[in-house]
A and B are shown apart, each in its own frame.
Chain A
Amino acid sequence: MGLTFVLGAATGVEWGDMLFYAVLFVVLLALIKHYAWGPVTDMMEKRATKIANDLDSAEEARKNAEQVEEQRVSALKDSHAEASQIIERARKNGEQQKTTIVADAHGEAQALKDTAKQDIERERQDALEGVKNDVAELSLEIASKVISKNLQMNDQKALIDSYIEGLGKQNEVK
């Protein structure tokens, strides 16, 4: 079997086969390029670029998110500080208000006390004045009565009596 093949090959070389296979292979190359290789590799290329783009955009999105997160954290910190500041200020205001109110009240009470004292003093003064006037009047009356009568024992007695009587009458009138 092998011998016949070798003999056959030796007697005549079918060099047409070479032409046939060369043409066949070139045609196969062209067909595969047009129908299979081209579209598939194009799509693979497209996918590679798309993946690269996606990776880039994902990286960008990650960076953005990080930035936003940072901003959020700093804003939160700021708001904490602001809140404590506001509370501090309010407390200070309250303290201040309290002291002023207490001071005002103290002042007012003092003023009221003072006026009351002054009123009392004036009243007392007025009363004393009135009493003094009465005493002077009485003394004048007594003196006039004493001068109008003679200085007799009997008369004196009568005078005192009348005076006392008069006093009683005066008091009743008063």
Chain B
Amino acid sequence: MNEGASVQEFFGIPFNISNDLPGLVAAMIVFFTMLWLSRRIQLKPSGRQNFIEWIIDFTNGIIKSTMPGKEGSKFGLLIFTLFSFIFVSNQLGLMFQVDVNDVGYIQSPTANAMTTMTLAFIVLLTAHFLGVKKFGFKGYFKNTYLSPLPFLLPLSVLEEFTNFLTLALRLYGNIYSGEVLLKLIYQFGKSFGIASFIPAVPLEIIWQGFSVFIGSIQAYVFVTLTMVYISQKVEKE
């Protein structure tokens, strides 16, 4: 995470390059890893194929736990991609931090609220769209906003916004705070020469390990909640 930001405007739309570039890098890492893992697919799996099938089984397991049955299988690709992208994004900033003139160009894309909000927005848009598609607009409205008791309508509307915000900000907050602390430990290590450098190294290692753990957990939580929100919309209560 870096305080500086390189904002460029294309067609009058402001783009934050120091947020977009790491997203592109993370997506490319995900894509090429999956491409590499899925070459030479055989009926009898071996080596890399085992690994990608293990990931697919894991994400399918997340779907199964909230939406058992045939209906959930069409979300396999979404959950698989979402999970791998968020996972790689969370870990990216722990391994690489590239700053040029105090402007970060490589960091965790998920350490920026814009990124996580976009992802949460995609997820909830999908959920609402599927809800409307399945029950029609009337059924969707009834199911989503008037479902337990009609007079709770204001709360239900509010809930949709809080769902969106909590989904986005939980991920952002965890990853951002992790990177802030990494940065702080790094600055502490620099501040008093060798005297602070030595204690800073194990601290940094410990915090990086913990951040890896948090990043994995948050990726898991994000896709689990995604499935929960989708299943709320497409299943009648």
Contact = CB atoms under 8 A, between A and B. Distances in A.
A50 B114 contact: no
B63 to A, nearest CB: 13
B43 A25 contact: no
Contacts of B119: 21, 25
For the residues of B in contact with A, the DSSP-based class is: helix
A35 B77 contact: no
Counting contact residues on chain A (CB < 8 A from B), the size range is 35 or more
Contact of A2 (B23, B34, B121, B180): B180
Contact of A33 (B19, B24, B77): B77
A18 interface: yes
Nearest to B116: A21
A40 B3 contact: no
Contact of A21 (B43, B52, B77, B115): B115
B77 A44 contact: no
Interface string B201-222: 0000000000000000000000
Interface string B31-48: 100110110011101000
Interface in B28-75: 30-31, 34-35, 37-38, 41-43, 45, 49, 52-53, 56
B118 interface: yes
Contacts, number: 120
A19 B19 CA distance: 12
Interface centre among B19, B37, B43, B118 (most CB of A within 10 A): B118
Contacts of A140: none
Q: Give the interface centre of A14, A40, A46 by most chain B CB atoms within 10 Å.
A: A14
B85 A40 contact: no
A46 B35 CA distance: 20
Given A1-B180, A14-B114, A32-B30, 11 more contacts: A2-B180, A13-B114, A14-B5, A15-B14, A18-B117, A28-B30, A32-B34, A35-B34, A36-B52, A44-B56, A47-B45
